[in-house]
């Protein structure tokens, strides 16, 4: 029998809902403000008049970004980077995490490898040795310079390794008794049971590759090879006398309606949109994968 809630319990529930709603509004406001600022006119944005609603609604900033062929070229580079980098990260993470999840008697030297990985996660060679290595390997101005340096995300390896260690050992023992080898056990047992953790590290890889812009500035000397984040980071509105000669009066009026402030807001929205579309599909795995992968048996 379900007992009816008392008045005090209902009041507490209502208070909790109001607090959660307030937190949600506070969290969503920066996103909404960015949208409003990106579609406002130059004078209102520079004067700080945009608060909740757009002032002088226009889409000039988006037209500047989307009207440039370089934008679509940079978008294609970022998509290619996410696909190549995500697949490479996933493959190397799984094949490293599986042997490291075994006991030391099953995989001799396991602890030595673990200490090596942890050391590499905490300490790096630095930016200059990395640049010299990429240049010496001839990967500058190629997509591989954006993918290879981060091919083994050690944090993801540790996360998947701990998830594998949390699975019942009886499953592996039963597979060995039935004649299954390591690859069969990994592909048919471990990976299907680890979908939450796999989705979590995949989301990490996608977001990391998509949001990265600094390596594009370092390893790419040709603007045609810029990924999207590097492209929009360097996009600034500048009106020179030479440009004014080539622009029509309507184009010049449109350009004057935009400012670097509204353009920066439009940059943020364009950069966030793909992640905002992908995240809801992986979010249900996210918390479960983090919790299970962070706890060691």
Q: What is the pLDDT of residue 293?
A: 46
Average pLDDT over residues 277-290: 66
Structural domain count, the chain: 1
Average pLDDT over residues 124-131: 86
Q: What is the pLDDT of residue 70?
A: 83
* Average pLDDT score over the chain: 81
Q: How confident is the model at residue 242 (pLDDT cuts 50, 70, 90)?
A: low
Structural domain contains residue 13 = no
DSSP string, the chain: -PPPPPHHHHHHHHHHHHHHHHHHHHHHHHHHHHHHHHTS-HHHHHHT--SSS-SS---HHHHHHHT-HHHHHHHHHHHHHHHHHHHHHHHHHHHHHHHHTS-TTTSTTHHHHHHHHHHHHH----HHHHHHHHHHTT-TTSTHHHHGGGSS-HHHHHHHHHHHHHS-HHHHHHHHHTT--HHHHIIIIIHHHTHHHHHHHHHHHHHHHHH--HHHHHH--SGGG--HHHHHHS------HHHHHHS-HHHHHHHHT--HHHHHHHHHHHHHHHHHHHHHHHHHHHHHHHHHHH---
Structural domain contains residue 181 = yes
Structural domain contains residue 102 = yes
Q: What is the pLDDT of residue 83?
A: 93
Average pLDDT over residues 255-280: 77
- Over residues 73-111, the pLDDT tens digits come to 888 999 999 999 999 999 999 999 999 988 888 888 888
- Over residues 208-219, the pLDDT tens digits come to 899 888 888 899
- CATH code: domain of residue 228: 1.10.3720.10
Structural domain contains residue 2 = no
**Domain extent at residue 252:** 59-294
Structural domain contains residue 232 = yes
Q: How confident is the model at residue 297 (pLDDT cuts 50, 70, 90)?
A: very low
């Amino acid at each position: 029998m379900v007992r009816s809630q008392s008045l005090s319990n209902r009041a507490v529930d209502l208070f909790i809902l109001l607090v959660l709603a307030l937190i949600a509004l506070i969290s969503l406001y920066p996103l909404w403000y960015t949208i409003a600022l990106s579609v406002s006119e130059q004078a209102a944005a520079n004067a700080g008049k945009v608060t909740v609603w757009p002032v002088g609604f226009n889409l000039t900033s988006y037209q500047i970004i989307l009207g440039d062929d370089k934008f679509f070229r940079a978008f294609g580079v970022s998509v290619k980077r996410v696909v190549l980098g995500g697949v490479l990260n996933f493959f190397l993470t799984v094949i490293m995490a599986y042997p490291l999840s075994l006991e030391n008697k099953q995989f001799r030297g396991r602890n030595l490898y673990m200490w090596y990985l942890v050391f590499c996660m905490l300490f790096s060679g630095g930016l200059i040795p990395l640049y010299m290595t990429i240049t010496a390997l001839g990967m500058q101005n190629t997509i591989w310079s954006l993918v290879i340096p981060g091919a083994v995300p050690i944090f993801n390896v540790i996360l998947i390794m701990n998830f594998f260690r949390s699975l019942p050992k009886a499953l592996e023992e039963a597979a060995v008794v039935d004649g299954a080898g390591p690859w069969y056990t990994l592909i048919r047992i471990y990976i299907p049971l680890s979908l939450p953790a796999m989705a979590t590290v995949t989301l990490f890889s996608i977001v990391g590759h998509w949001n990265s812009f600094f390596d594009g500035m370092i390893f790419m000397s040709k603007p045609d090879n810029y990924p999207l984040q590097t492209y929009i980071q360097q996009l600034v509105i500048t009106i020179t006398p030479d440009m004014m000669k080539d622009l029509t009066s309507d184009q010049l009026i449109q350009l004057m309606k935009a400012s670097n402030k509204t353009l920066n807001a439009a940059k943020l929205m364009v950069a966030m949109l793909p992640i905002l579309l992908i995240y809801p599909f992986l979010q249900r795995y996210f918390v479960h994968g983090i919790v299970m992968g962070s706890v060691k048996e």
